[in-house]
Chains A and B, each alone.
Chain A
């Protein structure tokens, strides 16, 4: 403790003493640390097993912060053992031990990825693979993913043979077959929406299957007679699959899509949601339930909070731009109904969800907390928006709004424009583009933000404070009455006019 610390260098003795006292904390209590860690491990399990969307694609969040994983029950994805936190913990220990042993060079070793059927941590590998599939929405990509996994099973079989672990072969061969079948059913699903692509994928798959079959046959040669049945079975399955595959033409049985109500396009929004078809005949343990259609009655404006979707029943290809799904969020109910990945009209709140565009309609109030907005946020006349810890990949536009607050570490990749409105607060945010406040008549404060572009404050009345910001562009203030106050802004460009001294 005799070495010079940063405190020695930068602080006076009094402040150093006080900060040292503040910094001095007792050791973390082991028991509670362990509990927190177990909680985390369970959450990983929960989130990993969660399909892309909860079973009902319409997710209701209550007043308490909505966490979608709260809705997840550990499901029978065939790994009931993993519902047990004790087993999970032991596996993680093994993983970490392996990582520590092998990562002396600072390179992270993925112990699970090289495991083989029969190894203790092999199920984890399956879990990770399943998770990746679930993250893949497009059927064509899924098909490829499954093909890839089938290939991995073949390498595993090769390794098992090399290690003479013949008893584990059956399991590996089964998994191999399973993946091939899944690849094929993914292609089947694809053919309902894009038969051309499906057809070309089938050609690809045939070629891959031929290669795999050859590999399997060669392996047979390396096996003692009593270990051969498992591989023979796989080979046999391949032959019948290959046979079916070749006979396949575009007359695949198309399952009808569940009809639902109509779509109301979002005002001013871009229709850009990609909605995967939800086949009524789903593969056994995975639904392509990315956006479940609620078979609902009718009308274009539905009353409270039902997911409103419509997919054309008979088309074999989706239109290039899939129509927007709009969810009406009821204003009088405390719950917020959000469908991930869609445009939302917000009249209450949205928590940790990923949505496309958000509109706060006239006179409404909306609170966003931890939301990820892939598009833009629009705040209409007389409306209020409070956004905390959000990420907006597009712009935030408010016109005539009553109050707009962007707080707590929010990130806006585009611009913030607040015009002809009332009050505003932008604090502790990162804005890659510009911030423009124009002709607003309430007070606003712009504090401690990082602005990639310009900060422009024009013709506002009502008083404003601009302080502690870090601005890459210019700080421009004109015709505000009263003039802005504040200071301590770090500006790469120019500080102009009324903000020259800030």
Chain B
């Protein structure tokens, strides 16, 4: 429904409350998903979302100019998450009692899924911000290369290259673990 039109950005810059709320409505679910995947905790993820949009408001108020609202929001969220993990290093992979259930799955499958999730989380946290972002956007949010390129302000070619490197790095980290 909402595309990032020029009118929308201009209105946001002029601090139009209505548009700010629409921005929140539109992007907060996505930012929440991003945060939840990395943080694996509902309250923390909500904190991250709250903080991200608050900082966004400050930036708007300060007249910060940026190319792309969505990318900016991800950037803030990423910084928050990095800060969080700096203060609370990722614990070693441990199985959680209530693994996120796949109702169709049998118990051993659930265990495998949970292990996978923790491993991927730990691995992603070792990638750079942009590598993390490209993986999130490309594979989990299913954006096209063009959309991602637009967000990152890079060429489509560079984005593909970034994706390639990110996947390689991810693969390398995951296989080193074994």
User: Taking beta carbons and an 8 Å cutoff, which residues of A are in contact with B?
Assistant: 5-7, 10-11, 15, 17-19, 21-26, 28-29, 32-33, 35-37, 39-41, 43-44, 47-48, 50, 67-69, 92, 95-96, 99-100, 103, 106-108, 110-112, 124, 127-128, 131-132, 135, 352, 354, 370, 372, 388-389, 391, 408-409, 427-428, 447-448, 450, 468, 470, 488, 490
- Mark interface residues in B64-80 (1 if CB within 8 Å of A CB, else 0): 10000000000110110
| Interface presence of B94 (CB below 8 A) | no
Partner of B28, one of A36, A108, A370: A36
Q: Write out the residue numbers on chain A whose beta carbons fall within 8 Å of the beta carbon of B135.
A: 19
Contact A108 B32 (CB under 8 A): no
| Interface presence of B95 (CB below 8 A) | no
Contact A352 B55 (CB under 8 A): yes
Query: Measured between C-beta atoms, what is the minimum distance from B82 to chain A in Å?
Result: 6
Contact A47 B64 (CB under 8 A): no
Contact B139 A7 (CB under 8 A): yes
Query: Measured between C-beta atoms, what is the minimum distance from B107 to chain A in Å?
Result: 15
Bound Cα distance A41, B25 (Å): 11
Bound Cα distance A103, B46 (Å): 29
Contact A470 B50 (CB under 8 A): no
Query: Measured between C-beta atoms, what is the minimum distance from A138 to chain B in Å?
Result: 15
Contact B138 A6 (CB under 8 A): yes
Q: Write out the residue numbers on chain A whose beta carbons fall within 8 Å of the beta carbon of B138.
A: 6, 10
Contacts A103-B1, A370-B55 given; indicate if A128 touches B79 (C-beta within 8 A): no
Bound Cα distance A372, B158 (Å): 28
Bound Cα distance A47, B167 (Å): 41
Contacts A33-B46, A372-B64, A490-B158 given; indicate if A67 touches B140 (C-beta within 8 A): no
Chain A residue at minimal CB-CB distance from B171? A15
Interface members, chain B 99-157 (any A CB < 8 Å)? 100-102, 112-114, 116-117, 119-121, 124, 128-131, 135, 138-140, 142, 153-154
Query: Measured between C-beta atoms, what is the minimum distance from A342 to chain B in Å?
Result: 14
Chain B residue at minimal CB-CB distance from A109? B18
Contact A468 B37 (CB under 8 A): no
Contacts A18-B174, A28-B29, A43-B54 given; indicate if A95 touches B15 (C-beta within 8 A): no
- Mark interface residues in B51-66 (1 if CB within 8 Å of A CB, else 0): 0011101110111100
Contact A25 B100 (CB under 8 A): yes
Contact A6 B42 (CB under 8 A): no
Contact A106 B158 (CB under 8 A): no
Q: Write out the residue numbers on chain A whose beta carbons fall within 8 Å of the beta carbon of B7.
A: 107-108
Query: Measured between C-beta atoms, what is the minimum distance from A69 to chain B in Å?
Result: 7
| Interface presence of B93 (CB below 8 A) | no
Partner of B129, one of A11, A67, A428: A428
Chain A residue at minimal CB-CB distance from B144? A6
Offer 13 A-B interface pairs, CB within 8 angstroms, sorted by A. Answer: A17-B116, A24-B117, A26-B100, A32-B46, A36-B28, A44-B21, A69-B54, A69-B58, A100-B1, A108-B19, A127-B17, A131-B15, A488-B165
Name the 8 nearest CB pairs between A and B, nearest first: A21-B116, A22-B120, A448-B128, A23-B140, A21-B113, A18-B116, A354-B62, A409-B75
| Interface presence of B24 (CB below 8 A) | yes
Partner of B139, one of A19, A92, A389, A447: A19
Contact B140 A99 (CB under 8 A): no
Bound Cα distance A22, B170 (Å): 13
Q: Write out the residue numbers on chain B whose beta carbons fall within 8 Å of the beta carbon of A111.
A: 18
Contact B49 A36 (CB under 8 A): yes
Contacts A23-B139, A47-B61 given; indicate if A108 touches B8 (C-beta within 8 A): yes
Query: Measured between C-beta atoms, what is the minimum distance from B56 to chain A in Å?
Result: 9
Contact A67 B54 (CB under 8 A): yes
